């Protein structure tokens, strides 16, 4: 049951069941994390920055998967119709080794945090550790309040890497627009939240709402780049095009 301990492995086993989903995760999440840093901030030392980002992403998922594990093993006990992501053998193993699982996870997270703190990445470490209290609150309730909590978690998971170079409000906002916002709109459309307006909202449609969202985002980024061709705006434009093409191709080849 090594997937309980190894960062990323739990996500692959319980959330990214198919090879196509793993590829999509790399395109949507992993690759942009490096693009954010290399292009938003004009990195010079590529090797050092690469390893710093790799450590940062590993810390994010080490902590994020603690929330996943708790949700899949403890939170579901209080749900009437839970989503079961683990089989009986895996449940039994968790019950017998939960202290070891959480202890090793926190040990990995603390070790990575200390390494990053030596590079004075205080903002990043503090922001990422907010995953734990947020997930604790998120897992303790099942109501409409899960929506803003989930949005905050996605923002931390998706946008916090750029804080490795210090906090810049404009790149952070652009990162929020590139994924967390559309993810939030889609989540609001889920029937369990009983928000009818979002269920019929154009951008909540996972089939073709995504590429339409990125087309509009691309137009906004193009306008910003035209009036102010800063590195931030040009990078925002490139990433908007990146996501637009990816979503459009998925629809064209009927892969959504």
Q: What is the mean pLDDT of residues 10-27?
A: 91
pLDDT at 115 over 70: yes
* Tens-place pLDDT, residues 195-215: 777 777 767 677 778 889 999
Residues 151 and 2: their CA atoms lie apart, in Å, by: 29
Residues 60 and 157: their CA atoms lie apart, in Å, by: 6
- Who's near 52: CB < 8 A, 6+ residues apart? 116, 119, 121, 164
pLDDT at residue 254, as a whole number: 64
Q: What is the mean pLDDT of residues 90-111?
A: 95
List b or e across 55-85, with b for residues whose CB sees 16 or more CB atoms inside 10 angstroms.
bbbebbbbbbbbbbbbbbbebbeeeeeeeeb
Residues 80 and 145: their CA atoms lie apart, in Å, by: 19
Residues 227 and 113: their CA atoms lie apart, in Å, by: 40
Cα–Cα distances (Å) from 143 to 12, 57, 67, 96, 195, in that order, read 27, 29, 17, 31, 12
133, two tokens: 């209290």
Q: What is the mean pLDDT of residues 214-237?
A: 91
pLDDT at residue 98, as a whole number: 94
Residues 89 and 86: their CA atoms lie apart, in Å, by: 8
pLDDT at residue 43, as a whole number: 63
């Amino acid at each position: 049951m090594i997937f309980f301990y190894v960062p990323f492995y739990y996500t692959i086993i319980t959330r990214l069941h198919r090879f196509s989903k793993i590829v999509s995760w790399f395109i949507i999440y992993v690759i942009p994390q490096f693009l954010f840093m290399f292009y938003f901030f004009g990195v010079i030392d590529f090797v050092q920055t690469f390893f710093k980002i790799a450590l940062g992403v590993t810390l994010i998922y080490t902590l994020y998967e603690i929330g996943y594990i708790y949700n899949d093993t403890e939170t579901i006990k209080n749900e009437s119709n839970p989503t079961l992501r683990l089989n009986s053998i895996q449940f039994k193993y968790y019950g017998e080794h939960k202290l070891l699982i959480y202890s090793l996870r926190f040990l990995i997270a603390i070790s990575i945090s200390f390494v990053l703190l030596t590079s004075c990445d205080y903002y990043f470490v503090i922001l990422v550790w907010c995953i734990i209290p947020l997930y604790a609150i998120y897992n303790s309730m099942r109501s409409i309040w899960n929506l803003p909590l989930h949005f905050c978690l996605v923002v931390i998971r998706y946008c916090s890497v750029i804080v490795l170079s210090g906090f810049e409000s404009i790149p952070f906002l652009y990162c929020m627009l590139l994924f967390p916002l559309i993810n939030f709109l889609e989540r609001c459309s889920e029937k369990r939240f009983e928000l009818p307006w979002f269920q019929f909202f154009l951008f909540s449609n996972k089939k073709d709402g995504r590429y339409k969202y990125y087309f509009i985002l691309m137009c906004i980024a193009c306008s910003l780049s035209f009036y102010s061709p800063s590195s931030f705006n040009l990078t925002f434009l490139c990433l908007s095009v990146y996501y637009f093409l990816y979503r459009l191709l998925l629809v064209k080849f009927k892969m959504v």
